[in-house]
Amino acid sequence: MASNKDAQLIVRINKAQRDEFVALCNELDTSSSREIRKFIKRFVKKHKPEQEKPVKGDQDG
C-alpha cells in the first residue's frame, strides 16, 4: 500500500468531543490524524471480504 497521503476525509463532530480527543492524543504522544488512520486501517481489514484479504505468506500481504 502506498504511504503517500494524498486524500482528505472531512468529518463533522461535536467540538467538545473533538477537543477531548485531541487532548487525549496529545497526552498519549500521538496525533489525532494518526489515530484516525489506524482506526480506518483496522476497520477496513476487519470488514474486507475474505476473497480480498491477503493469504498468509502472500508476497503482496
The position carrying cell 461535536 is 14
| Each residue's pLDDT tens digit, 4-59 | 889 999 999 999 999 999 999 999 999 999 999 999 999 999 999 877 766 666 55
Rg (CA), the chain: 15
**Total count of residues recorded for the chain:** 61
What pLDDT sits at residue 43? 96
Whether 33 contacts 41, CB under 8 Å: no
Answering whether pTM is above 0.85, one says no
- The per-residue pLDDT for 55 is 63
Reply yes or no on whether the pLDDT at 61 is more than 50. no
Q: Kindly give, in sequence order, each residue whose CB lies less than 8 Å from that of residue 36, ignoring residues fewer than 6 positions away.
A: 9
Q: What is the 3-state secondary structure (H, E, C) of 12-43?
A: CCCHHHHHHHHHHHHHCCCCHHHHHHHHHHHH
